[in-house]
């Protein structure tokens, strides 16, 4: 299982969230977008276990 977010991930999350709010997104939507962005990057780097949800085996 992978570790929690690193300090770099936290900084990226804060940056994306702030940027989204400056663009007029609500805090709730900005948080969702920021989390998705960080998780996508973690997945791309192979730091997240791949989900099999919705995939046929």
pLDDT at residue 1 in the model: 43
Sign of CA dihedral 26, 35, 44, 22: positive
pLDDT at residue 54 in the model: 63
Residue 56: pLDDT above 70? no
Give me the number of domains the chain comprises. 1
Residue 57: pLDDT above 90? no
Q: Is residue 56 part of a domain?
A: no
Better-scored residue on pLDDT, 24 or 56: 24
Range of the domain at 34: 7-44
DSSP string, 13-47: HHHHHHHHHHTT--HHHHHHHHHHHHHHHHHHTT-
- pLDDT tens digits, 32-55: 999 999 999 999 999 887 666 766
Q: Is residue 55 part of a domain?
A: no
Q: Is residue 36 part of a domain?
A: yes
Dig out the tokens for 51 from the structure: 């989900």
Do residues 42 and 13 make contact, with C-beta atoms less than 8 angstroms apart?
no
């Amino acid at each position: 299982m992978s570790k929690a977010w690193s300090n770099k991930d936290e900084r990226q999350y804060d940056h994306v969230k702030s940027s989204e709010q400056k663009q007029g997104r609500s805090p709730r939507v900005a948080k969702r977008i920021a989390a998705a962005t960080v998780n996508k990057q973690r997945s791309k780097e192979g730091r997240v276990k791949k989900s099999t949800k919705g995939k046929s085996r």
